[in-house]
């Protein structure tokens, strides 16, 4: 082996040819197999690119993106070619990352603009803009199907932050949309506009999640005309940039377009309106305040509901005995949801967590929980996306300053038969404490204090909430999951 100084006449090309055509407009980064071996005494010195990168200009000029330069290559084996992959991340820790193939021409390393744009969409956001992109490189000696990683198993080169202006999107999607009531003639009343909720949560870009929903109360005896408007149209009071709806024959779905008229709401009462601005779609369902996971022959009065603040995301603690269905009424007379049989649920390695999809059903199919027997779960369900996650809480324990925050050696609570209340006696508490489940920190509860006149210390219990605090001493502890505001009560001994 030897040290090689690169000269301009030397061109090593492996990976993508310059400016290939792709089926996808913004293809994502690629995944790569593990190398066949390592050359720990071989490495490469790379020079970084400091100039801003404009993918719009490069794409228009049909040029690839220069992302680094090769300064030296040390102890590179004869008879091999050099391959370099670029790894990009969402932050300097590369907590979320993807890999892009490169080409090497005249000591410079290039990537395709579409590939780089797709990688940014994958690890940061799909929203067009200028972003600082952490990048690093992995080098290989390649011969045929053999790949040997230079420098060892964890060797990276040329760490840098690229300043990249991404490609423009094919379609403009704003971050906020509004439902705007109209007159019968279709004139928008912008002063009455109500902001819709992004179904993925607050502060999410419309490009990353183009779905929005809103619960509204539609008068039983009056017409209710409305349009959908982006935030820019509401601010400008521009009636030409609002979306009307062309409803399908089912009366619950339709298409959005600026050429369609205002829609007279076909449903009455509490209604959930959902839009998808990427698909220009519109759907209507009835809105529900709670949902009831029903297991076996459980009586309606014993079912522990899931609650909502936005009629989209439902969550809560509930007891399930292996198989369950979801109802809009505890007595099973409402709409019923069960497993989407076309989507296999995903169960975590520890067997405590499961995610899957549901669907409206009239049949007898049930959702199978991951843990056998009557078990307490924390469920998080999205009624617009029809997705759920459920986390088994097989044990609950007090953990905090008093036990050195040892999640395993905690004070276990004893469950009631219906799993609604959990208690422990003579528990040492010294300042900050929480409740954790399964002797781990993946599932825990914190809370906020409630003002009482009884002398008891009471906290509203919240999943993944803040630390609770109590004066040093011994307490009897009681957790109550039977009401919408879960509570934890401490009684001083």
Architecture of domain 177-286: Sandwich (2.60)
- Helix, strand, or coil here: 202? coil
> Cα–Cα distance between 385 and 210 in angstroms, integer?
12
pLDDT at 12: 33
> Cα–Cα distance between 433 and 445 in angstroms, integer?
10
* pLDDT of 2 over the 80 cut: no
Strand order, beta sheet including 263-264: 194-195, 177-182, 225-230, 263-264
pLDDT at 31: 62
Which residues, 6+ apart, have CB-to-CB distance to 484 below 8 Å?
305, 307
Which residues, 6+ apart, have CB-to-CB distance to 34 below 8 Å?
none
* pLDDT, tens digit, 9 for 90 and up, residues 159-169: 999 999 999 99
Structure token pair of residue 112: 């395709």
Q: Which fold has domain 290-393?
A: Immunoglobulin-like (2.60.40)
Shortest CA distance to 88 belongs to which of 16, 159, 14?
A: 159
Looking at 49-58, 263-272, 412-421, which range is the least confident one? 263-272
Residues of 232-267 as b/e, b for ≥16 C-beta within 10 angstroms?
Answer: ebbeeeebeebbbbebeeeeeebebeeebebbebeb
Structure token pair of residue 323: 């198989």
* pLDDT of 257 over the 80 cut: yes
53-54/157-165 β-pairing: parallel
> Cα–Cα distance between 151 and 46 in angstroms, integer?
13
Q: Is 466 left (phi over 0), alpha (psi -120 to 50) or beta?
A: beta
The average pLDDT across 409-438 equals 96
> Cα–Cα distance between 351 and 307 in angstroms, integer?
25
Domain 2-165 -> CATH class: mainly beta
* pLDDT, tens digit, 9 for 90 and up, residues 174-195: 999 999 999 999 999 999 999 9
Query: What is the average pLDDT value for the chain, to the nearest integer?
Result: 90
* pLDDT, tens digit, 9 for 90 and up, residues 223-232: 999 999 999 9
257 and 227 in contact (C-beta within 8 Å)? Answer: no
244-247/157-165 β-pairing: unpaired
Shortest CA distance to 230 belongs to which of 174, 157, 148, 160?
A: 174
pLDDT at 335: 87
> Cα–Cα distance between 271 and 252 in angstroms, integer?
11
* pLDDT, tens digit, 9 for 90 and up, residues 148-162: 999 999 999 999 999
> Cα–Cα distance between 454 and 58 in angstroms, integer?
70
Which residues, 6+ apart, have CB-to-CB distance to 119 below 8 Å?
28, 29, 88, 98, 100
């Amino acid at each position: 082996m030897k040290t090689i100084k690169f000269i301009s006449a030397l061109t090593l090309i492996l990976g993508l040819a310059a400016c290939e055509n792709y089926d996808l407009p913004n293809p994502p980064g690629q995944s790569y197999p593990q190398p066949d071996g390592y050359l720990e005494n071989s490495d490469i010195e790379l020079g970084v690119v400091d100039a801003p990168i404009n993918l719009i200009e490069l794409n228009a000029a049909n040029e690839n993106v220069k992302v680094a330069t090769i300064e030296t290559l040390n102890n590179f084996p004869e008879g091999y070619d050099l391959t370099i992959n670029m790894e990009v991340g969402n932050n300097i820790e590369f907590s979320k990352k993807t890999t892009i193939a490169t080409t090497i021409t005249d000591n410079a390393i290039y990537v395709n603009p579409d590939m780089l744009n797709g990688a940014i969409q994958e690890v940061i956001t799909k929203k067009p803009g200028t972003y600082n992109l952490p990048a690093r490189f992995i080098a290989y000696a390649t011969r045929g199907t053999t790949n040997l990683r230079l420098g060892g198993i964890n060797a990276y080169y040329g760490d840098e932050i690229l300043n990249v202006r991404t490609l423009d999107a094919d379609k403009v999607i704003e971050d906020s949309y509004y439902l705007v009531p109209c007159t019968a003639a279709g004139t928008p009343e912008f002063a009455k506009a109500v902001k819709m909720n992004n179904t993925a949560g607050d502060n999410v870009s419309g490009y990353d999640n183009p779905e929005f929903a809103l619960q509204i109360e539609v008068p039983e005896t009056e017409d209710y005309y409305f349009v959908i408007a982006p935030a820019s149209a509401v601010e400008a009071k521009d009636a030409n940039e609002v979306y009307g709806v062309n409803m399908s024959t089912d009366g619950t779905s339709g298409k959005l377009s600026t050429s369609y008229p205002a829609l007279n709401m076909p449903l009455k009462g509490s209604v959930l309106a959902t839009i998808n601005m990427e698909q220009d779609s519109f759907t209507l369902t009835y809105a529900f305040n709670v949902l009831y996971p029903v297991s076996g022959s459980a009586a309606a009065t014993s079912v522990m509901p899931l609650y909502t603040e936005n009629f989209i995301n439902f969550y809560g603690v509930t007891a399930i005995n292996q198989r369950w269905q979801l109802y809009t009424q505890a007595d099973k007379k409402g709409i019923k949801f069960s497993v989407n049989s076309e989507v296999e649920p995903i169960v975590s390695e520890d067997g405590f967590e499961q995610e899957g999809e549901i669907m409206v059903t009239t049949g007898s199919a049930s959702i199978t929980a991951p843990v056998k027997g009557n078990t307490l779960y924390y469920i998080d369900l999205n009624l617009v996306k029809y997705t759920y996650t459920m986390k088994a809480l097989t044990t609950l324990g007090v953990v905090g300053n008093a036990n050195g925050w040892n999640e395993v050696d905690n004070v276990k609570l004893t469950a009631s038969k219906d799993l609604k209340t959990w208690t422990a006696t003579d528990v040492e508490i010294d300042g900050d404490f929480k409740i954790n489940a399964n002797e781990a920190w993946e599932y825990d509860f914190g809370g906020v204090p409630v003002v009482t006149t009884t002398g008891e210390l009471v906290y509203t219990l919240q999943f993944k909430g803040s630390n609770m605090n109590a004066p040093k001493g011994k307490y009897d502890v009681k957790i109550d999951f039977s009401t919408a505001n879960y509570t934890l009560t401490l009684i001083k001994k």
